[in-house]
Structure 1
Amino acid sequence: MDLTRRTALFSAAFTLPLALPARAQPAAAPGNAGGTPLTPDFAALEAQQARLNAQPGPRVVPGRSIPVPETTSPAMRAAIAAPYRAPAWNANPANAEAWRALVARLAAPGAAAQPALRARLGVSMENAVLGGVKAFILTPREVPAANRDRLLVHVHGGGYVYNPGEAGTQEATLMAAFSGFKVVSFDYRMPPDHPYPAAMDDAMAVWKAALQMQRPRNMAIFGTSTGGGMTLAMILRARAEGLPLPAAIAPGTPWSDLTETGDTYRTNEWLDNILVSYKGYLSHAAALYAGGTDLKDPQLSPIYGDFTGFPPAILTSGTRDLFLSNTVRTHRKLRQAGVEAVLQVFEGQSHAQYMFDPDAPETKEAFTEIAAFLDRHLGK
């Protein structure tokens, strides 16, 4: 299977099922392969930019064509070069029925890809119900002795609307395969039928059930995008409810702020080929999930909460990720609260591309790093 087709297959199984040709992409001028300005007259451009940026204020930059970095693997370059795909990134269904139809249509190929992925990676899956919530238990073919009394709880991504059911298990499968941990992934309720706090209620029900399965010092919570944001919110809520906390967390490129706040919402807009722009589906999904709750409520946007006493954390993002600032701000806030926190940022990657292609070396590297961090902090 060629790289482009394989990348499309696995990206369809993740947080934002994707699919439409590129739009609003400037055509490169001759000789622009290296990312040079779209005008061939650099002297004129230099004078123009100096004039436009002569005073303090917003930075004005020229239109540019950004090349696919040669510093990434061939598999990752295929993902980075892929066009925008809709209706995932810019969806705005007119009503609840249209949302349900879109979510179901986008989830179908992702769910269909999972059995083959598990077979390739030697991971088995068992259906379960934890705390009244539908869940999946993913177990690697070989569980090292050190991991036999350890358990990871996975929170899937998808902007609070995408990836119901088995479509949301790809990250859990990758973690089980590359880490040797048993993983529980759960199918939390989502809008349009179930806005906040349904997803968080389900998450806490699963966490309480997990506490009956394993000691908290032997467990971690992880997830990407929405899953990363919910991981942080789960710690805030568990602490508020007096529940034991996990030994570590791994919030990948967390949607830690549902408002359009942070530098890379601007600098990476139209560069990130997954999320593309906050003004696409993200803004609509945030409003749909919140259901009238203030978007700055720490249970929706945990960056506004108190991170004191959080477990050690490892965060992951990419240089083109629209949520890079969300990730960086979360990392800095954890450090300011005295929490051990590690930040890994991958070259050239848009949102969550470290988990699209299981054959990309960057995928194995990302999950191996996370697994090593968790291994250092979980009890045995």
Structure 2
Amino acid sequence: MALALLLAAAPAHAQTQAPPPAASAPDFARLEAAQSAANDKPGPRTVPGRRIPVPGTVSPELQAAIAAPYRSPAWNADPAGPAEWKALVGRLAAQTAASLPALRERLGVVATPEVIGGVRAWIIAPREVPERNRNRLLVHIHGGGYVYNPGEAGTLEAVLMAAFGKFTVISFDYRMPPDAPYPAAMDDAMAVWKAALTLQRPENMAVFGTSTGGGMTLALMLRARQEGVSLPAAIAPGTPWSDLTETGDSYKANEWLDNVLVSYDGYLNRAAALYAAGRDLKDPQLSPIYGDLRGLPPTILTTGTRDLFLSNTVRTHRKLRQAGVEASLQVFEGMSHAQYLFDPDAPETREVFGEIAAFLDKHLGTERAPQ
């Protein structure tokens, strides 16, 4: 998810589109006949051209996000080479990072730079941590399609979690392509997780992240389990990029409807190729949906009805359930990919983080780590 540009370009207000006029009876009769003829044999579904209104069932803030146009070049970026990639990524990251001090101030959150496990990181925390959360610690893995949101720009979701969930969060700056393809990002995630285990009990900790961060959260669980490293008490992968191949119904059903990712044939396929660097995209460390999910921690997943990754999320939920893992799925009306990160004042944003915080509170312990 090209969150840096999405946030920088998102308008404060946007007019919602009026619904199309209702079809007359003769028009519908002609459409019905044409569609029946087009779908009279088994096979792919043919649908007519559609104009889909902004739903009136969501808040005005979310309606504005839904009504916004595609954000180019976020969804269709195609830099010619490494230098152009780095220039684009750097420009967008600077825009996002510039907005964060004011957001932290408004939400009562403090960010402290650190180095954790040899990786640059930030400790993000509310000014007042509730007693119940003082012995709890979350690790955040940022999104951005494995190419976007380096540095402080990647801490936005951690700021929202600290503000609305009242947890202390580690957010870290993992290495990314084009300079550092797989396994650099996962090596950094593992180093941070091992270091975090020296700071707090695993039963008092959770790992979370959105999009790429959600996929990496799942991959980190598989790697930690394989290496015999303790797992956290719970995880929260938001709309996870759990399958780097274009597999899943919503890749086509929500194509051109999701106004964030829009189409897998935009930048996503190029970002996947950059990250994988020739490896099989179905390797479970790249696409954890293909891994053995038995024994993973209780999981809460979040998506929206217009999300291009809706299928990634529901397929992950079903596979977790089939593996005997406690898994909760929340699907929000009208949301495109990760739109719960766009407006901290939207009721849906607060609801998403409230649901995640309640799930984590149910599963995380509170006892002090041994000295």
Question: What is the CA-CA distance between 1:279 and the residue it aligns to?
Answer: 0.2
Aligned equivalent of 1:163, options 139, 149, 164: 149
Q: Please say which of residues 102-111 and 234-243 is displaced more in the overlay.
A: 102-111
CA deviation profile, 1:176-227 (whole Å, cap 9, x unmatched): 0001110000000000000000000000000000000000000000000000
Aligned counterparts of 1:301 and 1:12: Cα–Cα separation in 2: 19
Looking at structure 2, the residues matched to 131 and 369 of structure 1 have their Cα atoms a distance apart, in angstroms, of 30
Aligned position for 2:171: 185
Q: What does residue 242 of structure 2 align with?
A: 256
Assess if the C-alpha contact under 8 Å between 1:192 and 1:288 holds in 2. Answer: yes
Q: Measure, in 2, the Cα distance between the counterparts of 1:339 and 1:235.
A: 13
* Partner of residue 229, structure 2: 243
1:315–1:343 CA contact under 8 A, matched in 2: yes
Q: Separation in 2 of the partners of 1:232 and 1:16? A: 24
Going from structure 1 to structure 2, the CA distance change for 1:289 and 1:39 (only over 3 Å counts) comes to farther
Does the alignment pair 1:350 with 2:336?
A: yes
| Cα distance in 2 between the residues matched to 1:39 and 1:109 | 51
Q: CA deviation at 1:36?
A: 5.2
1:71-90 equivalences in 2 (<5 Å):
71-90=57-76
In 1, Cα distance between equivalents of 2:118 and 2:333: 41
Equivalent in the alignment of 2:125:
139
Alignment match, 2:261: 275
Distance 2:245 2:209 in 1: 20
Equivalent in the alignment of 1:122: 108
Q: How does 1:49-64 map to 2 (within 5 A)?
A: 49-64=35-50
What does the per-residue CA deviation read over 1:48-78, in whole Å, with 9 as the maximum and x for residues that have no partner?
A: 0000011111000000100000000000000
Change (3 A) 1:188 1:202: same
Q: CA offset at residue 355 of structure 1?
A: 1.4
The runs of 4+ residues in structure 1 deviating greater than 6 Å are: 37-40
Task: For 2:132, give the aligned amino acid.
Answer: A
2:195 counterpart residue number: 209
Quote the Cα distance in structure 2 between the aligned partners of 1:363 and 1:281.
Answer: 26
8 A contact 1:156–1:168 mirrored in 2: yes
What one-letter code is carried by the residue in structure 1 that aligns with 2:106?
R
1:174 matched residue in structure 2: 160
Farther-moved stretch of structure 1 (219-228 vs 100-109): 100-109
Query: Structure 1 CA distance, aligned partners of 2:72 and 2:24?
Result: 27
Where does residue 275 of structure 2 map in the other structure? 289
- The percentage of counterpart residues that share the same residue type is 74
Letter in 1 for 2:302: T
2:19 aligned residue = 33
Checking the alignment, whether the CA contact within 8 Å between 2:307 and 2:336 is kept in structure 1 is: yes
Closer/same/farther in 2, CA of residues 361 and 17 from structure 1, 3 Å limit = closer
Amino acid at match of 1:216: P
The runs of 5 or more residues in structure 1 that have no matched partner are 1-10, 22-27
Cα-to-partner distance string for 1:315-341 (whole Å, 9 max, x where unaligned)? 000000000000000000000000000
- Residue 261 of structure 1 aligns to a residue whose secondary structure is coil
1:115-159 Cα deviation digits (max 9, x unpaired): 010000000000000111000000102211110000000000000
The answer for the alignment partner of 1:328 in structure 2 is: 314
Q: Which residue of 2 aligns with 1:307?
A: 293
**Counterpart-to-counterpart distance in 2, 1:77 and 1:17:** 16
Q: Which amino acid aligns with 1:168?
A: G
CA contact (8 A) 1:14 1:170 kept: no
Residues 145, 272 of structure 2: 8 Å contact kept = yes
Q: CA deviation at 1:109?
A: 1.1
User: 1:20 and 1:370, CA in 2 relative to 1: closer, same or farther beyond 3 A?
Assistant: closer
Pairing partner for 2:182 from 196, 200, 213 = 196
Q: Is the 8 A contact 2:4 2:92 kept in 1?
A: no
User: Residue 253 of structure 2 aligns to which amino acid in structure 1?
Assistant: T
Q: How does 1:339-378 map to 2 (within 5 A)?
A: 339-378=325-364
Contact between 1:150 and 1:219, CA under 8 Å: does it hold in 2? yes
1:41 Cα deviation from its structure 2 partner: 1.3
AA aligned opposite 2:233: A
**In 2, Cα distance between the equivalents of 1:93 and 1:40?**
48
Displacement of 1:172 in angstroms is: 0.2
SS of 1:345's equivalent? strand
Amino acid at match of 1:194: A
Cα distance, 1:34 vs structure 2: 4.6
TM-score (norm 1): 0.92
Q: CA deviation at 1:308?
A: 0.3
Q: Secondary structure at the match of 1:238?
A: helix
